[in-house]
Chain A
Amino acid sequence: MNKIEKLEAQSIFIIREAYKSFKNIGMLWSIGKDSTVLLWLAKKAFFGHVPFDLIHIDTHYKIPEMIAYRDQLARDLRIRLVVGENRKALANKQTFQDGNLDRIACCKALKSEALNHTLDGSWPRRIYEPKQGAWTDVPRDEPYNAVIVGVRSDEEGSRSKERVFSARDERSEWDASAQPPELWNLYKTEFAPKTHVRVHPLLEWTELNIWEYIEKEKITVIPSYFDQGDGMRYRSLGCWPCTSPVASTARNTADIIEELISGKFRNIAERSGRAQDKDGGGTLEALRKEGYM
């Protein structure tokens, strides 16, 4: 087995372990390349099925192609898609783009808060039912005990401290310093009632591994990752006011791999186009403590 095959097998093991261990489990799906690989791995793990909901937090500032791609994929793959959002903040224009919040506070409102309240079922969910092929609005719903999330430890410092099965307490907070030991692949899947668990099957993957896998498996990703002819592409997808495309002429997966191995991005971090990471040191860790993915 080569490196990528080993990573795939390990991630499938983790996804199966998560599915077995939690009654109400969902998979967080941000539409980006990591989420797309995660979804692919789930289909591998369950032999073509996706036996849980996909959850998307819609900030309403996503690049428009992302939403179109999301809805298309849910229809094509017959996935039960759960969409959460911070309706109050959006209605009151409590956002960065409206000039009423700084970047970090905006992330907190539109992502962390929306995520936490969507997961615990206290805020409305918009749900796509593949059987009916229709969207419904569900004002209150069952909480999820656990969500599978596609974070990688090479993305940012705080993520490297993560465990594969990582507990959040009742307030969705994460205590990085008091984590249990996690030995070999014998993950602790026993948690006190009301604990919310994040499961991280991609922790060991790097950005390069993700693209190598996309290439190997010929996975379709959103075209925004590729140069469409203007010499620009997105390396990491987020909200448009805070994410800038990078100058690159990579037109396909092979070009991107080349860029990462020996080309222009060899020594430049993936999230360098994400403005919120730079507003003060350690902000992503602070956001993650409050539930940011």
Chain B
Amino acid sequence: MASLETAIDLDETDTQTERMNIVITGHVDHGKSTLVGRLLADTHSLPQGKLDGVKASCEKNGRVFEYSMLLDALEDEQKQGITIDSARVFFKSLARPGREYVIIDAPGHIEFLRNMLSGASRAVAAVLVIDALEGVAENSRRHGLLLSLLGISQVLVVINKLDLINYDESIYRKIRNEYGQYLDSLKVKPVAFIPVSSREGKNITEIAPEMAWYKGKTVLEVLDGFKSPKSEDGAFFAMPLQDVYRFSDAGDERRIYAGTLVSGEARVGDRVRFLPSNKEAHIKSIEAWSAPAKTVVRAGESTGFTLEEDIYVTSGEVLVEADENAPVAASTRIRANIIWLGVNPLTFGKSYLLKLGNAKVQAKLEKIERVLGENNGEDGYYGLNRNECGSVILGFARPIALSSFYDNASLGRFVLVDGFDAAGGGIVLEALSEADIHPELPTGFEEDLFLLLKKYFPHRFPEYGKKPNQDYTI
């Protein structure tokens, strides 16, 4: 299994103007808004006169100026439709001309988790803010976990409010160690930890003399080092089949197999295989309208092929190169990490619609291996409540083609729909074979039976009898 780093390998410098979506997360009052306000001010990204205007207004009203006010002021302005990009807060890089950072607000409140995740799933990097005075808090952990579930690999941890602890290195080290260990348990490798004071502007865009013990980079320097996601050109070819078109009007006879390449490249003449049907055909042409004819398409492109052989396949199958040993397999069972956002809990015995690539399949919860996060209560094993995360096994009504998230991000993530409610999302840790679990026995029954046997026939289970709390595996 490839490591997270290599799976989401990153492009070198994009020479054009680029917009990088960054999500800023952290516990309530740990200083997210102040950090953003600071970045706006210190990168000179505010509209002319805005900073002085807010300061003057504070003085007039006898209020103490705070950098977090800049965000509110900007929002007011957005409501009036004055700034050009009114919807999203963004600031410019100082060192990299042409780069802009779009800040996706991630409210600390749990009620907004659906919105936070929707935004964060479009982010390529994350900044986690922790209050040095308060230390690691509930949402510090929760957000770290969510970032790992979304597969965001570029994470910067900012330890804020160092001014309130007299820039004490030992407190910073303690938090860094504690949180570093936690992220390590999630397989998240932070790009950097930075001690800062957002209020005083220390280590944000300039290294602060107060923290001479800190030898790393500023926040902005680390942001500038973040990379746009690689377009997976070099990887194996994979394209979920989105649809098959045959528009017969105006005498068009083409049957076009349409989709968006998630990785690799394909050429005219290539022999491709559709999974899970295993049908094979040769690419006859790459179709496009109002574009020069081409013989090769690459990752990220929305395209369409005609095939030499007329075959019947339906949307949701995945095209791979027939000769390439791509790590894409037809599976009916996966081990996955999921975040549940549904109105109703995720429960056993119920059928959900799982969407992965362009495939849709009925899926059932077969086992909860672990409830992730702070709520590790026993009741979690009977389902997942709203906003809970877990490591689970899901079984499908029929095979679909997929990868582990670490082999291919696009073919290794999915959402679950409960009725008409988009209720959860997650990443595929691995595809499981039929032998990994007895499919004919419902897991809940199996566990209940085991507990009964253990209770009434303890002599048959000496290794468990003495230690009732020990985990067991079947």
A residues near B, CB below 8 A?
1-3, 5-6, 8-10, 12-13, 16-17, 19-20, 40, 43-49, 51, 78, 153-157, 159-160, 163, 179-184, 186, 188, 190-192, 195, 206-207, 217, 260, 265-272, 277-278, 281-282
> B176 in the interface, Cβ–Cβ < 8 Å?
no
Q: Which chain A positions have C-beta within 8 A of B124?
A: none
A49 to B40 Cα, complex, angstroms: 45
Contact of B300 with A186 in the complex, beta carbons under 8 Å: no
In the complex, which residues of chain A have a beta carbon less than 8 angstroms from the beta carbon of B288? 44, 47
Instruction: Give the contacting residue for A154; candidates B87, B245, B420; CB below 8 A.
Output: B87
A12, A45, A181, A190: which contacts B420 (Cβ < 8 A)? A190
Q: Inside 8 A of A160's CB, which chain B residues have their CB?
A: 86-88
Provide the bound-state CA to CA distance between A140 and B321, in Å.
Answer: 50
Contact indicator A181/B16 (Cβ below 8 Å): no
- B451 to chain A minimum Cβ distance, whole angstroms, is 36
4 new A-B contacts at CB < 8 Å, known A6-B300, A16-B242, A184-B122: A3-B19, A44-B288, A190-B419, A192-B420
Q: Given that A45-B302, A46-B247, A157-B81 are contacting pairs, would A183 and B87 also be in contact in the complex, using a CB cutoff of 8 Å?
A: no
Question: In the complex, how many angstroms separate the beta carbon of B233 from the nearest chain A beta carbon?
Answer: 9
Minimum C-beta distance from A74 to chain B (A): 15
Give 1 or 0 for each of B411-431: 1 = CB within 8 Å of chain A CB. Answer: 001110101111001000000
Chain B residues within CB distance 8 Å of chain A: 14, 16-19, 47-48, 78-88, 114-115, 117-118, 121-122, 150, 231, 242-243, 245, 247, 249-250, 252, 254, 256, 258, 260, 287-291, 298, 300-302, 304, 315, 341, 353, 355-356, 410, 413-415, 417, 419-422, 425
Could you tell me the distance in whole angstroms from the C-beta of A188 to the nearest C-beta in chain B?
A: 4
Question: Is the beta-carbon distance between B301 and A1 smaller than 8 angstroms?
Answer: yes
Q: Are B88 and A153 in contact (CB under 8 A)?
A: yes
Whether A207 contacts B84 in the complex (CB less than 8 A), given A43-B289, A183-B425, comes out as yes
- In whole Å, how far is B92's beta carbon from the nearest beta carbon of chain A? 12
Nearest-Cβ distance from residue A76 to partner chain B, whole angstroms: 14
In the assembled complex, the Cα of A277 lies from the Cα of B81 at a distance in Å of 8
Chain A residues, CB < 8 A from B16: 2-3
Instruction: Choose among A5, A46, A269 the residue that contacts B86 (Cβ–Cβ < 8 A).
Output: A269
Point out which of B84, B85, B300 has the most chain A C-beta atoms below 10 A from its C-beta.
Answer: B84
B422 touches A181 (CB 8 A): yes
Inter-subunit contact A3/B302 (CB<8 Å):
no
CB distance from A292 to the nearest CB of B (A): 15
A181 pairs with B304, CB closer than 8 A: no
Instruction: Please determine whether B18 and A3 come into contact, CB atoms closer than 8 angstroms.
Output: yes
CB nearest neighbor in A for B409? A184
- What is the distance, in angstroms, from A13's C-beta to the closest C-beta of chain B? 5
Q: Which of B291, B300, B414 contacts A1 (CB 8 A)?
A: B300
Cβ contact within 8 Å between B242 and A13: yes
- A183→B339 CA distance, assembly (Å): 11
**Complex CA–CA separation, A48 to B249 (angstroms):** 11
| Residue contact B287 to A157, C-beta cutoff 8 Å | no
Q: Are A270 and B84 in contact (CB under 8 A)?
A: yes
With A47-B254, A154-B87, A282-B79 known to touch, is A183 a contact of B420 (CB < 8 Å)? no
15 A-B contacts (beta carbon < 8 Å)? A5-B301, A9-B301, A13-B302, A16-B242, A16-B302, A44-B302, A156-B87, A157-B81, A157-B87, A159-B87, A180-B421, A181-B117, A195-B420, A266-B84, A278-B80
A16 to chain B, nearest CB (A): 5
Contacts of A180 in B (CB 8 A): 114, 421-422
Contact B81 A186 (CB under 8 A): no
Query: Is the Cβ of B121 less than 8 Å from the Cβ of A47?
Result: no
A12–B86 touching, CB < 8 Å:
no
Contact of A156 among B86, B243, B304, B420 (CB under 8 A): B86
CB distance from A46 to the nearest CB of B (A): 7
- Chain A residues, Cβ within 8 Å of B79: 157, 281-282
Known contacts A47-B289, A51-B247, A179-B114; is-contact A272 B300 (Cβ 8 Å) = no
Interchain nearest-CB distance for B146 vs A (Å): 11
The residues of A that contact B247 with a CB separation of less than 8 Å are: 46-47, 49, 51
Cα distance, A183 to B79, chains bound together (Å): 26
Is A190 within 8 A of B81, CB to CB? no
The answer to whether A155 and B86 touch (CB under 8 A), given A9-B260, A16-B302, A180-B421, is yes
Interface centre among B17, B81, B121 (most CB of A within 10 A): B81
Instruction: Assess whether A154 is in contact with B86, with CB atoms less than 8 Å apart.
Output: yes
Do B84 and A268 touch across chains, with their CB atoms under 8 A apart?
yes
- Complex interface: chain B residues within 8 A of A48 (CB): 252, 289-290
Measured CA separation A186–B361 after assembly (Å): 13
